[in-house]
Structure 1
Amino acid sequence: MSANSPNYLKRKHNMTRQLIDLSMPVHEGMITFPRVQGPKITMLESWKEFADNIGAGKYGEDHLTAHYVVSHSDHAGTHVDAVKHMRGPDAPGPEGIPLEYCYSDGVVLDFRHLEKGAGITVEDIISALKKIKYTLKERDIVLIQTGASAYNDEPRYLTDHVGMTAEATRWLIARGVRMMGCDAPTFDPPVWAMFKREEFWLAHKVMQEDDYWHLENMVNLDQLPSHGFTLSVFPVAWQGTTGAPVRAVGIIDG
């Protein structure tokens, strides 16, 4: 069917598109992972101060443009971890993440039934895929639903969630999945569970050998279908950092 045909245009006009915001609001006092500094937001100049300071006040302008200074960690709020996060200073940061991996088909795997602190295994991943009757393909973006985002303004956000194992992460990579994400403060199990097992950030450490990236602190995964939607997860092109903020959006075409 031609893109200029009346039937095509009518069908296009009748399509509905729903955009789901998957990003945590950024504000002072928000919960962040231990040792990650929360944002500081300071007004540099008010609307009138800008008008006066730029010299327009003497011409009667008293309301131009206010602006703020924002101090924001590369791992606060919804963000993506670059391989530099685990490999070291010479590895690519967020500016090196290929854009084709940041816009692709999305898949949500639900692990809210697992015990808090559990590590998601390969068997768990396979079972979750069978439940939704989905076969992974290259460049799918896989989202891990832990349920923690329902209380991301409470202290238990840092303790009551599950996380990925290294084996499960490598299993996804072997099937062409390079971008992953979760609605928890870390892609791994919570800190207390890692200390209990004396195994630390094993899913993160997969980055030391494999090119893959994961998003953390996502929200609203329960508003997405299990598959059949598109994800836009482009990071800010910060240079020299180990991660960057992302405005993650799920796109559902009707």
Structure 2
Amino acid sequence: MSFIDLSVLFEPDTLSDIPIMRPHFQYSDHETGAGEMMKTYGCSREDLPAGGCCADTRISCADHSGTHMDAPWHYAPTMNGGERARTIDEMPMEWCMGNGVCIHFQDKPDGYKVTAADLEQYFRRIDYQLKPLDIVLLHTGAQKNYGRTEYRITGCGVGREATLWLLRQGVKVVGTDAWSWDVPLPLVAKEFAKTKDPSVIWEGHLAGVEMEYYQMEKMTNLDLLPVTGFQVICFPIKIKGGSAGWVRSIAVL
């Protein structure tokens, strides 16, 4: 048995995120911690370890910072054709662990929109029939730009029809190594400016209005995965009312 870490390093001020999503860290060292311990316990410095103690870190970030799981509430207020959309703390736990399937589309150009026909052809080629609760991961190759602003415009994305095709096979959880499950947002904005077609806006996400699903974004190491034959474990942090939750996702081979 071996493990592959599918989550990026959660670090401060990464350029991969837009400014309002960038995590900010405030580190408190052991000497500062020792001072707090002296206040708490009424002890002297000599009563504590020579090197100090009780370091901690305070973090300010969005629930979409780093590798995270989007909940249907992020997409819209309703799901499944009218039900109240679930928040991340309401995600069924049994959907967070299952057989993994990796779609290797790293050769698709940046901004390419994956279609249902692309998926049908891919699964015919690998001779695999999706099963309910398979966890489907999309390897776009975007991870090579993680940590840079270019990351936000790198990789292919999944359109509405392709997302719904996966969901109709019983898939509930998907993931990508790109910034978004959708085609990179700045590229879609350019398309909309030309066409004024609202159907291109966030179409992969908005498929969740029709059918409930959860998506992981900003994953890593998907290039190390086989097509099938591994398990994915991806429990999100239980944020009350959260539109997403940070996730330490791993593959077990």
TMscore range, shorter length: 0.7 to 0.9
1:177-222 deviation digits (Å, cap 9, x = unpaired) = 0100000000000123212332210000011221101000000001
Aligned residue in 1 for 2:55: 66
2:24 corresponds, among 36, 40, 47, to: 40
1:85 corresponds, among 74, 90, 98, to: 74
User: Does the alignment pair 1:55 with 2:41?
Assistant: yes
Q: Distance in 1 between matches of 2:97 and 2:70?
A: 16
1:115 corresponds, among 87, 103, 109, to: 109
Q: Distance in 2 between matches of 1:39 and 1:135?
A: 39
State the identity %: 29
Give the letter for the 1:41 counterpart: F
Aligned residue in 2 for 1:21: 5
1:63-105 deviation digits (Å, cap 9, x = unpaired) = 3322221112111110011011022396321111111111000
Q: Distance in 2 between matches of 1:216 and 1:66?
A: 30
SS in structure 2 at match of 1:54: helix
Query: Contact 1:110–1:128 at 8 Å: present in 2 too?
Result: no
Report the CA distance between 1:55 and its aligned residue: 2.1
1:160-182 deviation digits (Å, cap 9, x = unpaired) = 21100000000000000010000
Aligned residue in 2 for 1:171: 165
Q: TM-score, normalised by structure 1?
A: 0.87
Of 71-80 and 36-45, deviating more is 36-45
Query: Contact 2:16–2:151 at 8 Å: present in 1 too?
Result: no
Q: Distance in 2 between matches of 1:81 and 1:207?
A: 11
Give the letter for the 1:231 counterpart: V
Q: Distance in 2 between matches of 1:201 and 1:236?
A: 24
Aligned residue in 2 for 1:139: 133
SS in structure 2 at match of 1:114: coil
Give the letter for the 1:95 counterpart: D
Of 185-194 and 54-63, deviating more is 54-63
Q: Distance in 1 between matches of 2:226 and 2:138?
A: 13
Give the letter for the 1:200 counterpart: I
Report the CA distance between 1:44 and its aligned residue: 4.6
Query: Contact 2:100–2:137 at 8 Å: present in 1 too?
Result: yes
Of 74-83 and 31-40, deviating more is 31-40
SS in structure 2 at match of 1:107: strand
1:13-59 deviation digits (Å, cap 9, x = unpaired) = xxxx1110000111112134436421111135633223222225326
Structure-2 change in CA distance of 1:36 and 1:188 (3 Å)? farther
RMSD over aligned CA atoms reads 1.7
Query: Contact 1:74–1:244 at 8 Å: present in 2 too?
Result: yes
Q: TM-score, normalised by structure 2?
A: 0.88
Give the letter for the 1:159 counterpart: I
Query: Contact 1:79–1:217 at 8 Å: present in 2 too?
Result: yes
1:106-162 deviation digits (Å, cap 9, x = unpaired) = 000011111210100011112222232211000000001100012211222111211
Give the letter for the 2:48 counterpart: E
Query: Contact 1:32–1:76 at 8 Å: present in 2 too?
Result: no
